[in-house]
Amino acid sequence: MRNERDLLLRAIAMLEQQRPALGDEAVEAALVALRARIAALASQVPLERRHVTVLFGDLCGFTAMSERMDPEDVSELMNALWERVDAAIVRHGGRIDKHIGDAVMALWGADGAREDDPEQALHAALDIQAQLSSFLAGPPEGLRMRIGVHTGPVLLGVVGTLGELTVMGDTVNTASRLEQAAAEGTILISHGTYRHVSGAFDVEPQAPLRLKGKQEPLQVYRVTAARPTPSAGRAGAWRASGPGWWDARRSRAACARPCPRRSPGAVASG
């Protein structure tokens, strides 16, 4: 079913490219059947409950910058920008759900939950900020992004006439509102995410937020940096100590093997 949907989407994209040659009327007539088939496939996909981490990021200052630029230059800039941002998300195991103008939504756990999904989402958020800081010479001349991250249950399903696979629910809304509440160039996370990553990042508790639709204020934290992994640091130092590291490793491996059993009358030689 997924393969058929992908083929239909590619066929639609090819038809859209042929609009100048075929004309709008012919293309629209051909698209009717393709869209109807995608809608039929979408109705066969049940909604699934998943536990995910959602990241929302929104560029700050891009609209004002684009007003002073040629449209072609704006398009080139956006493509170069999203290439960096998207690569940071994918590099840390995320899936890009959608781009909405100068904003992005990404997911961890939609294709199968992993224990470190929240941590990877925050590593991606920090990576994004690092990419933006070096883009266009960095702030204040460059661009900044507000990022909000929340972890919780969602419904995963197909929506729209083109069969868009996405997630829905309060978790998505909360992540979006965290992004809106974040200051420019910062990362704001909920307690739902914090309890999964406590100790792995440097965070600053913020004043609780009152969000629309929630009875109680939401405890939030600002993420400033990732903490070094102690085990990785010890391993690196041990390796740096020289050949002794390899000798010790071989000794441990030898001790892990079962020793040959001696016969009752055997005497150790001297």
Whether 66 is in a domain gets the answer yes
The reply to whether 52 and 24 lie within a common domain is no
- Looking up residue 65, the CATH number of its domain turns out to be 3.30.70.1230
Query: Given this model, what pLDDT does residue 214 score?
Result: 80
pLDDT value, residue 255: 44
26, part of any domain: yes
Q: Answer whether residue 268 is part of any domain.
A: no
Cα dihedral sign, 201-204-208-211 = negative
Same domain, yes or no: 198 and 72: yes
Residue 141's pLDDT is what? 55
Phi, psi of 259 (to 5 degrees): -80, 145
Q: Which domain holds residue 35?
A: 2-43
- Looking at the fold, whether 35 and 155 belong to one and the same domain comes out as no
pLDDT at residue 203, rounded to an integer:
96
Residues 23 and 4: their CA atoms lie apart, in Å, by: 26
Q: Would you state the pLDDT for residue 153?
A: 93
24 located within any domain:
yes
| pLDDT tens digits along 63-83 | 777 777 787 888 888 888 889
Same domain, 55 and 174: yes
Residues 175-225 pLDDT 10s: 999 999 999 999 999 999 999 998 999 999 999 999 877 888 999 999 999
Written as tens digits, the pLDDT of the chain (270 aa) is 556 766 777 888 888 888 888 888 888 888 888 877 766 665 555 678 889 999 999 998 777 777 777 878 888 888 888 899 999 999 999 999 888 888 999 999 988 889 999 999 999 999 999 998 877 655 555 678 999 999 999 988 766 555 566 788 899 999 999 999 999 999 999 999 999 998 999 999 999 999 877 888 999 999 999 998 765 444 443 333 333 333 443 444 444 444 444 444 444 444
Structure-token match 């990404």, residue found: 106
Same domain for 119 and 9: no
pLDDT value at residue 172: 94
The reply to whether 194 falls in a domain is yes
240 in a domain, yes or no?
no
How many CB atoms lie under 10 A from the CB of residue 105?
22
pLDDT of residue 239: 36
Residue 235 belongs to some domain of the structure: no
Q: Rounded to whole angstroms, how far apart are CA atoms 161 and 260?
A: 69
Clarify whether residues 197 and 157 are in a common domain. yes
Residue 108 sits in the same domain as residue 23:
no
User: How many domains is the chain built from?
Assistant: 2
For residue 189, give the nearest of 107, 100, 117, 118 by alpha carbon.
118
Closest CA to 32 of 11, 58, 56: 11
Q: Tell me if 125 sits within 8 A of 116, measured CB to CB.
A: no
User: How far, CA to CA in Å, does 108 sit from each of 89, 117, 217, 247?
Assistant: 10, 6, 25, 41
User: Which amino acid makes up residue 90?
Assistant: V
Same domain, 16 and 75: no
Question: Same structural domain for residues 32 and 153?
Answer: no
6 φψ region: left (φ > 0), alpha (ψ -120 to 50), beta (else): alpha
pLDDT at residue number 43: 56
Question: Half-sphere exposure of residue 43, counting CA atoms within 13 Å on the CB side?
Answer: 7
Residues in the chain: 270
* Whether residues 202 and 82 fall in one domain: yes
Q: Looking at the structure, do residues 102 and 223 belong to the same domain, yes or no? A: yes
Residue 18 lies in a domain: yes
Q: Specify which residues 205 forms β-bridges with.
A: 221
Are 161 and 226 members of one domain? yes
How many CB atoms sit inside 10 A of residue 59's CB?
21
